[in-house]
């Protein structure tokens, strides 16, 4: 399937490391290095949705922000339509943001409370097309509001007058008003009720089909990710541990971490749910300042061996289903 589609995004060995001041506080003390993202490779094709999952602190949001340039990459390449975004200066990167937009996790916090809905959605248009006539701006805003399920007659209301789901629709309209090629969705439904989550996810799928969008969809809820994603990337401690087509990965997870995540997903059948074996992970998530040697998951892995402490596994297995585990090769 991917061979017939245009490659939009090609990320190679992406790393995002932060310098953290040592506890000693002495100015000559070497800062510690926090490895938020430590070498991730992915490809995203035209019209495709890539789901990104993993527990809190695994680097999902940092990875997303590095792709769009909100966080500076320490190393690696983010190639967008053949051009490496990590090599662009501020003004050139600003132009690329017309093609890549983002929807944030907290719908209300991402909106300016002093601006009306119309002003919020119009802001990208005025920033990138300052010569556009006010009437044209207003018309485009109303069209986009209709697309996301908002009545145009609420254009002069403020964010606090809307529910969480409606605020997220405003955020979606703001991201789409420039007609981008790709949207990064950073946990866009985690702050919403379950029924509203389904509405927002279905809205994104409908808009994707209508506008030919590609999506990077970050979430904790694996059921949501399975529903919307063509392929899924599983992250642990800044590393990609498994990636593959959604159906293949959910039907046969290979990495021990992915298996543990899958076992926690509720089954809508009382008998199956009652007899299900949940694979609990032992221990705490290691610090990204001092990650384990070799395989980063080995300290919590039920099948780890001495070899896992010496060798860091690569993501192997091809585009359909790849896994980063010495025991799965």
Q: Are 83 and 262 in contact (CB under 8 A)?
A: no
- Whether the CA torsion 111, 184, 209, 228 is positive or negative: it is negative
What does the alpha-carbon distance between residue 271 and residue 269 come to, in Å, rounded to a whole number?
6
Helices (H), the chain: 60-68, 90-96, 117-128, 134-147, 164-176, 194-211, 222-228, 246-251, 256-263, 270-275
Strand partners, 101: 183
83 C-beta neighbours (distance < 10 Å), count:
11
- DSSP 8-class letter at 155: T
Q: Is 212 left (phi over 0), alpha (psi -120 to 50) or beta?
A: left
The per-residue pLDDT for 25 is 65
Q: Are 72 and 89 in contact (CB under 8 A)?
A: no
The per-residue pLDDT for 280 is 75
User: Closest Cα partner for 255 from 224, 300, 309?
Assistant: 300
- Does residue 35 sit in helix, strand or coil? strand
User: Closest Cα partner for 60 from 322, 191, 253, 239?
Assistant: 239
The per-residue pLDDT for 36 is 95
pTM above 0.85, yes or no: yes
Burial of 73: CB neighbours in 10 Å, binned 0-12, 13-18, 19+: buried
What domains can you pick out in the chain, each with its CATH number?
2-99+180-323 (3.40.50.300), 114-179 (no CATH)
The per-residue pLDDT for 295 is 94
What does the alpha-carbon distance between residue 197 and residue 213 come to, in Å, rounded to a whole number?
20
The per-residue pLDDT for 79 is 96
The per-residue pLDDT for 3 is 52
The per-residue pLDDT for 269 is 66
Q: Are 40 and 240 in contact (CB under 8 A)?
A: yes
Q: Report, as ranges of residue numbers, the positions in the chain whose pLDDT lies below 50.
A: 1
The per-residue pLDDT for 192 is 83
- Does residue 274 sit in helix, strand or coil? helix
13 C-beta neighbours (distance < 10 Å), count:
12
Strand partners, 80: 9, 83
7 φ, ψ to 5°?
A: -80, 120
User: Closest Cα partner for 172 from 156, 189, 153?
Assistant: 189
The per-residue pLDDT for 24 is 65
User: Closest Cα partner for 53 from 214, 202, 186?
Assistant: 186
The per-residue pLDDT for 143 is 96
């Amino acid at each position: 399937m991917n061979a017939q589609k245009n490659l939009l995004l090609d990320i190679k060995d992406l790393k995002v490391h932060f310098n953290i001041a040592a506890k000693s506080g002495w100015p000559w003390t070497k800062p510690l290095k926090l490895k938020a993202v430590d070498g991730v490779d992915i490809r995203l094709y035209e019209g495709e949705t890539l789901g990104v999952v993993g527990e809190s602190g695994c680097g999902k949001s940092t990875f997303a922000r590095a792709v769009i340039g909100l966080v500076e990459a320490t190393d690696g390449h983010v190639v967008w339509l053949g051009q490496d975004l990590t090599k662009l200066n501020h003004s050139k990167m600003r132009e690329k943001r017309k093609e890549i937009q983002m929807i944030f996790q907290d719908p209300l916090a991402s909106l300016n409370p002093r601006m009306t809905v119309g002003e919020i959605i119009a802001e990208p248009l005025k920033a990138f097309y300052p010569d556009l006539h006010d009437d044209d701006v207003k018309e485009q805003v109303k069209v986009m509001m209709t697309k996301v399920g908002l009545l145009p007659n609420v254009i002069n209301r403020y964010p606090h007058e809307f529910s969480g789901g409606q605020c997220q629709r405003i955020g979606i309209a703001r991201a789409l008003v420039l007609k981008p090629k790709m949207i990064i969705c950073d946990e866009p439904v985690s702050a919403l009720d379950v029924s509203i989550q389904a509405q927002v996810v279905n809205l994104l799928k409908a808009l994707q089909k209508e506008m030919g969008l590609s999506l990077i969809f970050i979430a904790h809820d694996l059921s949501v990710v399975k529903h919307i994603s063509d392929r899924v990337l599983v992250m642990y401690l800044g590393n990609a541990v498994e990636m593959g087509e959604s159906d293949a990965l959910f039907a046969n997870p290979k990495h021990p971490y992915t298996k543990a995540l899958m076992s926690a997903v509720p089954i809508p059948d009382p008998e199956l749910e009652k007899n299900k074996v949940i694979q609990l992970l032992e221990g705490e998530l290691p610090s990204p300042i001092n990650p384990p040697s070799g395989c980063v998951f080995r300290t919590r892995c039920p099948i780890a061996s001495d070899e896992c402490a010496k060798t860091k596994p690569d993501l192997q297995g091809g585009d359909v289903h790849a896994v980063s585990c010495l025991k799965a090769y």
